[in-house]
Structure 1
């Protein structure tokens, strides 16, 4: 069956076409409107933003590390300074084949195995985008060779860096400290303190000593150079510069010459010494022997050297003045005598008969005096001069451990002094409550007896002893020890003195203090325990010797130094101030395994007093220094 052909409706087709055309036109119009709107938004509304983005591609901010502040002694002798040198560094992210690059560099200039080991260690500790030093302090010839071969060494850079130099050497290491490369721990602390931005471009930070304590002042403020760069990232020209602000300089109370005299006076012995100005709290000398060379750490210490320092039985990395804790021994007796007078337990004229031992009531145990047969009739002043143990055994029992603790605590024993160095130990000043908390045990009467002569649980640092001695010298004013005397602003070059910090003033009856001081002066006179150390001095010294036991001695046995190995001998202690009538220096000396304070520690103090008060140096010091230089 044939169908009739359909006739198209042209009008309807045309209407449909016009509808589609209108729809397409509207769509094109909307799209054009959207494009115009987007162009308007990008070109007008976001103009400033994209201008900055474009500029950031064209302009780079290069951090400029500031010069680190200097550290000077009281006479402005330089202890820590800066110098510039070239360093060979590798950027891991820009080095295609690290091992091949290292091999090629090794063919061009000398690279030692130690430098390679240090490089690999630093590489493991660094981020991928950081440059890692391979060799520092390049010679001019080495710089020229590397510059001529730069096209062969992608990722290899020669940079001018500032290095730290410690002129004073090992004797000042525990005071000045050292700087080292910034590690992850340092970065974490900088971020927490909101200071990370100020360390852009810096690779070192203070690690110990004053370099650590005064890091914020010494570092300064980082500057920035605004550099125009081409498409390959190469600098074309400098557009602007925010100059770095150098760190502030530190001037110390400490005298470098006095420090050298003190270190020399120790001879072959190990130990610690601290000398204070009792009127200001200024640290005049601080010796911890042995020391170490702080310059070893500036450029990254090699593992072998670090191991030898860290594992040495002499412990050169330990600051004995701040962290070494020792029984104070008889150096505590002037404070005990003052406590007896101030608490009303003794009068200056009260005396005992010393048979050479002390026995607690209802006990057969004898606590021996250091002098066999005793000292006979002893009053308070003579008990100090002769260092009579028996006198202080009885005084300690009458006083009791808690009153002893409370009184001695006023002189800074058992707590940190507040010196401007990190890592100070608080020592230990025992009490009933302390023993109960520490050992869950009661306090025994015999422990009170030996505490009276600075033995037993009692532990102090040389710095604490010096602080207490300074209080005896200045009438009971406890001033926090300070190394930094003044700070100099690099912009105006004016020294700003640092104020003394008075911790407390202990109320002391001047008559009681006078009796104790007289006893300490008698220590240095004929018949006193340290008379030989004061012989011929043109000034008057007030002092007290002490001995800190290292190994226990059985009851009834006698201490025989000659039969003991050196490391088992007693520590020698000595505290003193001078001139006794108007003190300007107070000192504490601890000689490890020195045996006797009178014969070993006191002469060290005498050498320091002689130089500080009269300018006299040890007779063989210059000659030995000259021989060492040869």
Structure 2
């Protein structure tokens, strides 16, 4: 009986324990459910927008859409820089099983250079995840076939069709146009990185660099749905990129061709400007280079050949070449002498073929002395001295002006200052003064140095573009515009900016221009060799720039000098004389003198004056 009672007590106790456990479990389940419901309410009601956005970020990717670079055309609408369809080899690193192995395989198959691989690595640092990174541009049909045959071992490798910059005329206008190239680490600073995401090329030199912000365009964007591996499934929406602007140049590509053909293989520079606008009609720098070689990475060997050449083909001589202007400045000094009342049209200077300063035994010679044994004539006036390039007359004028007035006079014509032309890295030349010499060389100025500057020699240096502006000022009788290659942007004309304004009486302008006309049309004019058959008026001036010094009693013997020691030749001109349409500057390096330059100008002037319209 007692044992039965104990068994019943145990059962009651077990029941109570079980009931208690069930209640605790139920309470726990209620708490868990309450927690889940509150979390659900928190996620789905209170923060639904925030977490929906987070979810979208995981499956929706934003891709940049590159704009089409603006084209460049000449004054008649001929394309000078365009975008051509081409095939590009690219790798998406996330899809490559072994990126290093893939690069090695492609190097063996296609002969990739170290530069190709290095630029690939640079570009990869700037691209977004799951975006293809360009490796090799402008694939040939043979290369496309090789990739197709070996695609099974090239995971992550793709061939992308895109637009690539192309210059149809090759090296004809290479220095002016410049080129685009693949973006390197140093090409884009931190503040610009967002503007270049997805863009692989940037203007490096020339107009392509100067107008980079205008030509580049504005990035677009697309939102795409991706799977867990980042593979694009669908484009949700898209903001179209804004194409770069079209540049219309003043440049006439046919005049450029005439100038280039006339210069031939000689080193030198040619500039032609429309005096009425400052528009650059032609700009030739020789030797030239083909900008197409730089677009997708020039080979080390080709670049080394250009960089190390003594002839400096990468130098744009039009804006960066600095040379003694020689006798081309004589009309400018003649105008200064007239304006300051130091001379007049009838002032005569004795010309025995040399000039001496009082108390100085040195004879400053005229080039004509070695030809005739005397001067140009017993006495010379301004007009004849310009036409025949009489050094003695301008030695005397420089001495009477003095170096300060001489420098001020040339500065009025823009000598010694940059012109502001729309090309990068323009040089300003050198307009020497006593202050300049003391600062740069650390020595005093001597009277004989003033005479030398008076014939455009000594320390004095100018660029061809500077002289083109100065000649335009003479052609316009005092005014000149800032030179510009670009005439219009997206069809909207670019406003011409005044640069020079030189005040002088009309009679003074007429006197120096008559001397320049006689340079071409008088029997003793230094460019009389170009007058035959001319049916339009031309005003011109030759110049022979000394490269090496000749001792006082020595004679310049060109045949005894090395090529690079020979004189440079200049010719500056404008036509027609009374209503000028074109101003031309020709420089021929180490050619012997101005007689090699004016035939080139004649070809250009003949073309321009005979064209339709």
Q: Which residue is equivalent to 1:486?
A: 488
Go from structure 1 to structure 2 and tell me whether the alpha carbon gap of 1:535 and 1:277 turns closer, same or farther (over 3 Å shift). Answer: same
Task: Give the SS at the match of 1:469.
Answer: helix
* Unaligned runs of at least 5 residues, structure 1: 1-23, 489-494, 617-630
Q: Which residue is equivalent to 1:436?
A: 438
Q: Equivalents in 1 of 2:115, 2:333: separation in Å?
A: 54
Go from structure 1 to structure 2 and tell me whether the alpha carbon gap of 1:293 and 1:440 turns closer, same or farther (over 3 Å shift). Answer: same
Aligned match for 1:271, one of 268, 276, 284: 268
Go from structure 1 to structure 2 and tell me whether the alpha carbon gap of 1:35 and 1:142 turns closer, same or farther (over 3 Å shift). Answer: same
1:303 Cα offset (Å): 0.7
Aligned match for 2:428, one of 426, 429, 433: 426
Q: Equivalents in 2 of 1:91, 1:303: separation in Å?
A: 26
Q: Equivalents in 1 of 2:42, 2:506: separation in Å?
A: 85
Task: Give the SS at the match of 1:207.
Answer: strand
Task: Give the SS at the match of 2:609.
Answer: helix
Q: Which residue is equivalent to 1:116?
A: 113
1:377 Cα offset (Å): 1.1
Pairing 1:54–2:55 present: yes
Offset from partner CA, 1:148-171 (integer Å, 9 cap, x none): 765642332222221011011112
* Unaligned runs of at least 5 residues, structure 2: 1-24
1:125 Cα offset (Å): 3.5
Q: Which residue is equivalent to 1:210?
A: 207
| Contact in 1 for aligned 2:119/2:184 (Cα 8 Å) | no
Q: Equivalents in 1 of 2:289, 2:107: separation in Å?
A: 31
Q: Equivalents in 2 of 1:196, 1:569: separation in Å?
A: 49
Aligned-residue CA RMSD (Å): 2.5
| Contact in 1 for aligned 2:123/2:200 (Cα 8 Å) | no
1:139 Cα offset (Å): 4.9
1:542 Cα offset (Å): 0.4
Q: Which residue is equivalent to 1:582?
A: 579
Q: Which residue is equivalent to 1:21?
A: none
Go from structure 1 to structure 2 and tell me whether the alpha carbon gap of 1:50 and 1:561 turns closer, same or farther (over 3 Å shift). Answer: same
Q: Which residue is equivalent to 1:603?
A: 599
TM (norm. structure 2) is: 0.90
| Contact in 2 for aligned 1:91/1:129 (Cα 8 Å) | no
Q: Which residue is equivalent to 2:169?
A: 168
Task: Give the SS at the match of 2:113.
Answer: helix
Go from structure 1 to structure 2 and tell me whether the alpha carbon gap of 1:47 and 1:574 turns closer, same or farther (over 3 Å shift). Answer: same
Pairing 1:259–2:262 present: no
Go from structure 1 to structure 2 and tell me whether the alpha carbon gap of 1:124 and 1:465 turns closer, same or farther (over 3 Å shift). Answer: same
* 1:107-256 correspondence runs (5 A): 110-112=109-111, 115-128=112-125, 130=127, 131-139=132-140, 143=144, 146=147, 150=151, 152-188=153-189, 191-192=190-191, 195-256=192-253
TM (norm. structure 1) is: 0.87
| Contact in 2 for aligned 1:87/1:136 (Cα 8 Å) | yes
* 1:309-388 correspondence runs (5 A): 309-372=306-369, 373-375=374-376, 376-388=378-390
Q: Which residue is equivalent to 2:496?
A: 500
Count of aligned residue pairs for this structure pair? 580
Q: Which residue is equivalent to 1:417?
A: 419
Pairing 1:458–2:471 present: no
Pairing 1:612–2:613 present: no
Task: Give the SS at the match of 2:110.
Answer: coil
1:31 Cα offset (Å): 10
| Contact in 2 for aligned 1:119/1:132 (Cα 8 Å) | no
Q: Equivalents in 2 of 1:486, 1:95: separation in Å?
A: 47
Q: Which residue is equivalent to 1:550?
A: 547
Q: Which residue is equivalent to 1:620?
A: none
Q: Equivalents in 2 of 1:105, 1:54: separation in Å?
A: 38
Pairing 1:79–2:80 present: yes
Task: Give the SS at the match of 1:274.
Answer: strand
Go from structure 1 to structure 2 and tell me whether the alpha carbon gap of 1:366 and 1:97 turns closer, same or farther (over 3 Å shift). Answer: same
Q: Equivalents in 2 of 1:286, 1:576: separation in Å?
A: 15
